[in-house]
Structure 1
């Protein structure tokens, strides 16, 4: 079945061409479909790519039974129900870097336009006047720029501000000290402190529950006299009624607005009557270069996800600062180790899993959250509907089932690239460890208290037996007679003649009766078989 992609808004054709040139992809370009029509058709597609005009609601996501990915040709995803997308395991991919330069350049153009009265000057000249003396402006040099949100765009603005001779202060509780140092910006302790100390304040944050209405009456009243407020991020971050009230006091130099709580800005809006406000119709990303960049970025991200399950660009997967090129083997090991642990608990007669703890070596410390997601998916395999179980929603599904998820310390890990999972079901616990090296397949190195060395691929059989002569031969003969080929066989023991554990990699699943026949052998006490999804 071909992979079907629907492009719902006007996305640059250079990006669409990346998808159309991919073998096995079918792309339908149908901008501005009515919501009811889109809802009727969404079930036919694996992915949707659009811009801000298409609202990806919970109803739409629920109607998309085969939907795997949402692509947003731009930065903001406030038109996407992220919570529902995550619950359903639908990846949300945006293009965070493509419009960075466009927004930064527009910021300086619009602010200079306000400070130098360019709009008024243009109108006066067209009306036949020469109001030179009435249009004296102010310079950026020597002014303090306050940046709310020191991310990609905020940092791009900061770099250009230095060229204008400005002093920088910024407020961003999530940015590192290193980012502040690289941008030569002083860290403001509070938003109000930033507002009070800056001549120009610019907002570059996403719109979410934390930032909606973040700049209200209290913050606006902290602005110093003669200052300028700029919003080129998202409408709703600034309380527009509070801004109008503050502008009416005529103590501010003015405001620059490119985004609004309701777009488009229609009717007799009071902003239109204010000469101290520069209004632009959401032009931040409206350059030819930006539109091409965001289209290419998001289409490449959607393509890589659909072809290779590459989630490094997905907003609803917490990859952290991990090296994504080195992650696939580690993700596979974490998921399979957890699958084995759950299967071993089931063989013991344990019921529902109650807790999952994942620990790593230092090389994977920053990837802990996404590795925990992989382990959660492994615990849930064959327990819940696996159709949409993936790294996106595994942790949420696990939490909904009452499984406590924990990240342990990697300080005592035996290897820099070690991964260990501990899975609990009531009073029972199973511990599985392994290593995901850079240049080889991941290997299991520990099952419970036994040290092993085997690759977890295809089908794995774990046998608990007594350490007596002849067991390995009898197991091999029985599996051979059942037509099952052994790829690897590792026997581990605690002490000679005592309890032993065999880990056997098989080229395929054994017939159902094989486990029962193995248990009939006098020295085998337990048999656990795990087949891994999506293996060769």
Structure 2
């Protein structure tokens, strides 16, 4: 019998499979003190929780029999993933199941802010009858810009079209066929798209690329009198800039279910001066009975499979993989992820194909014997490269288990092969292709355990993939590096290292500058223009 401990309120219908499983004993213990929790987890084979239970190293040590920790929901901030992986504990979550709930809240927020429903309700409850204060805007015939056409964004598009809205999208990474099938028009310039929209709704993850995506500059591009809705993640919209746009009348209204700080304290959106234009809710996007049941059912189904040694989905970590790998294999795993991240930063459009090639005895001799089947049959190095590629675009919630499934969903074809090594004993190659561009790089790990990128687009080069990297291509002539160094110096950005790759007869070069800090957006624009570069990308490899 497997003992499963539940420490928080979970939808009862979502737990039905758990109660009916013949080889599982379910123990529900709510509102435990820390000491009681440590005692209760001692004999548990699995733990089911939400966000209120801190699954830290101490709790994992107490649960010596733990094989699985399951989080009902998406975020796993309350779980120490590194500690769980080291102990061989599988961490599961339920990233799907709330799509319809989030979609319907978005539509509700659009209607609420357009028709001033909360404000009208509050006014009437005060005994007022001031219909003239609540002149709204109808949706029929209006343009809706959807930023991010993933599962939720696509679902919003379908419903908005049913209301007679004209739907645009801004999503440089989405498959063109998907956009066509949805009957949505894709726009490639964000500021240009903002200038056309009557309503703007956001459905992207919070990443380095999307943080403060809707800032003061973007809000000055927006069509006057537009409405802004954010039910995605706090931090994507600069709340102070949004409040100013509302005060100045550039925005007619805004609706937020998510906030930069949660719970929000002193948010600019609470300013009484803009209260008549703002609708705010406390992150209730997934709060429906049906969604809560669905996420519980998903996590329970996979938990049962994991305990029974069957193929399962939605694992957040890969303890079975890393625990069975040598130190050098783990370094190549880390290298593959960083190569995927670099590729994602260079090719900023939909990726149609990724090819991972492995050469050398390390890959020839590699075997990963697992006690169960995976839902895909890729080498872990391919999976790690995919994870790096997708997490830049979809956020840190992408993991090695979900990456191949997300790639399939996004229409990315994956190929892997093994070949003989030549210059280096072991070498890993990653190539990605979009409709308009191909990009490739080779990397290795030295005998001393140092990760290196040794070739980019066929140019021999040698740099360490870590920290902030300015990667660029230029005409191979004097003065280019000097101009870039001067521009960086003007902004107090220090160059820590420099690597140059040249190809005889091409007249071009590729260079990598390792920087001590990030470079502001305006300096990137100046570098691209003043140094006459073919392309330049600032890549952040911190935080691994």
TM-score for both structures, normalised by structure 2: 0.56
Assess if the C-alpha contact under 8 Å between 1:78 and 1:207 holds in 2: no
Q: Does 1:106 align with 2:93?
A: no
The aligned residue for residue 4 of structure 2 is: 5
The aligned residue for residue 348 of structure 2 is: none
The aligned residue for residue 181 of structure 2 is: 182
Matched ranges for 1:229-308 at <5 A: 229-265=228-264, 270-271=269-270, 273=272, 274-308=275-309
Cα distance in 2, alignment partners of residues 354 and 99 from structure 1: 36
Deviations 1:228-257 (A, max 9, x none): 111112223323333333333232111111
**What SS does structure 2 have at the residue aligned with 1:170?**
strand
**What SS does structure 1 have at the residue aligned with 2:276?**
coil
The aligned residue for residue 126 of structure 1 is: 125
Q: CA deviation at 1:139?
A: 0.8
Q: CA deviation at 1:19?
A: 1.7
Assess if the C-alpha contact under 8 Å between 1:211 and 1:237 holds in 2: yes
Q: CA deviation at 1:398?
A: 12
Q: CA deviation at 1:171?
A: 2.3
Cα distance in 2, alignment partners of residues 65 and 190 from structure 1: 53
Q: CA deviation at 1:162?
A: 0.5
Q: CA deviation at 1:165?
A: 0.9
Cα distance in 2, alignment partners of residues 250 and 43 from structure 1: 59
Cα distance in 2, alignment partners of residues 224 and 423 from structure 1: 57
**What SS does structure 2 have at the residue aligned with 1:180?**
helix
Unaligned runs of 5+ in 2: 334-351, 385-414, 427-544
Aligned CA distance change for structure 1 residues 140 and 52 (closer, same or farther; 3 Å): farther
Deviations 1:264-301 (A, max 9, x none): 34578752632211011222122221211121122112
Cα distance in 2, alignment partners of residues 377 and 132 from structure 1: 75
Q: CA deviation at 1:128?
A: 2.8
Question: Comparing 247-256 with 215-224, which one deviates more in the overlay?
Answer: 215-224
**What SS does structure 2 have at the residue aligned with 1:197?**
coil
Matched ranges for 1:94-243 at <5 A: 94-243=93-242
Matched ranges for 1:118-517 at <5 A: 118-265=117-264, 270-271=269-270, 273=272, 274-315=275-316, 379=366, 395=380
Cα distance in 2, alignment partners of residues 368 and 43 from structure 1: 45
Aligned CA distance change for structure 1 residues 298 and 398 (closer, same or farther; 3 Å): closer
Deviations 1:12-67 (A, max 9, x none): 01222322322332333344556787578666544333334445567766776654
Aligned CA distance change for structure 1 residues 17 and 353 (closer, same or farther; 3 Å): closer
Aligned CA distance change for structure 1 residues 17 and 279 (closer, same or farther; 3 Å): same
Cα distance in 1, alignment partners of residues 65 and 381 from structure 2: 20
Assess if the C-alpha contact under 8 Å between 2:57 and 2:84 holds in 1: yes
Assess if the C-alpha contact under 8 Å between 2:157 and 2:167 holds in 1: yes
Aligned CA distance change for structure 1 residues 164 and 128 (closer, same or farther; 3 Å): same
Unaligned runs of 5+ in 1: 318-333, 343-350, 357-364, 400-417, 430-536
**What SS does structure 2 have at the residue aligned with 1:263?**
coil
Matched ranges for 1:9-28 at <5 A: 9-28=8-27
The aligned residue for residue 50 of structure 2 is: 51
Deviations 1:129-187 (A, max 9, x none): 32223322111111111112211111111110100111112222332112211222222
